[in-house]
Amino acid sequence: MMKTPRILVTGFSPFLGEKINPSEILLEWLKKDFAFQSKVETLLLPVSFAAAASLLESRIAQTSYDYIFMLGQAGGRSKINLERVALNWIETEKPDEDGVTPLQGPIVSGKESALFSTLLVSKFKDQLQEKQLPIAVSLSAGGYVCNYVYYKTLLWLRENKRKSQACFIHVPFLPEQVLDKPDMPSMDLETMKKVLEEILQIALN
Ligand code: PCA
């Protein structure tokens, strides 16, 4: 019998004045109500350049995961996005929740400009699209905390010769977040749960 894969799903707390972060709500759901909750570990990260990546690194240094799915909110997107690449670059005018706005520049000087997801991104996208689920591949996770955590994690996995399949997944705003934002796309929680459930099912099988 095949051994059950070890799966870690991370999410973020709210940031930049939002009251909620859909990725945190999805983590809560995974912990409480997801049918295979015993097979999935979760980790909530602060929206902090200084703290988020090192928290995740200390978790993955302790435990070898087969899959690492990092969730985050990407306001303005209308589908769930599988991020294909992490850039070795910070570019933001917005501070993180520690009030820090890092200068524009590389995340780790002297390392690769970009690292690709170690997940079979197209396989996941195709299988989800076959089920008519709202999924797309994205080629930029942005220049803020999510991309930072993604790059640092992919780099750490590579440098420590870990075989984890890791991917960052950006989710849109929830409908209640866009009430005061005209023309901003959103996605209801049930659809997000369906997509995440499907992703985890593919990983578990
Ligand atoms: N989204 C931000 C950081 C935390 C989150 O949920 C981003 O896309 O960088």
Looking at ligand 1, which residue's alpha carbon is closest to its atom 8? 146
CA of 3 to the centre of ligand 1 (A): 33
% the chain with pLDDT above 90? 94
Domain ranges of the chain: 7-204
CA of 60 to the centre of ligand 1 (A): 20
Cβ of 138 closer than 6 Å to ligand 1, yes or no, is: no
pLDDT band at 133 (very low <50, low <70, confident <90, very high): very high
Bridge partners, residue 190, by sequence? none
pLDDT in tens, 45-60: 999 999 999 999 999 9
Query: Which superfamily, per CATH, for 7-204?
Result: Peptidase C15, pyroglutamyl peptidase I-like (3.40.630.20)
Given this model, what pLDDT does residue 3 score?
Answer: 83
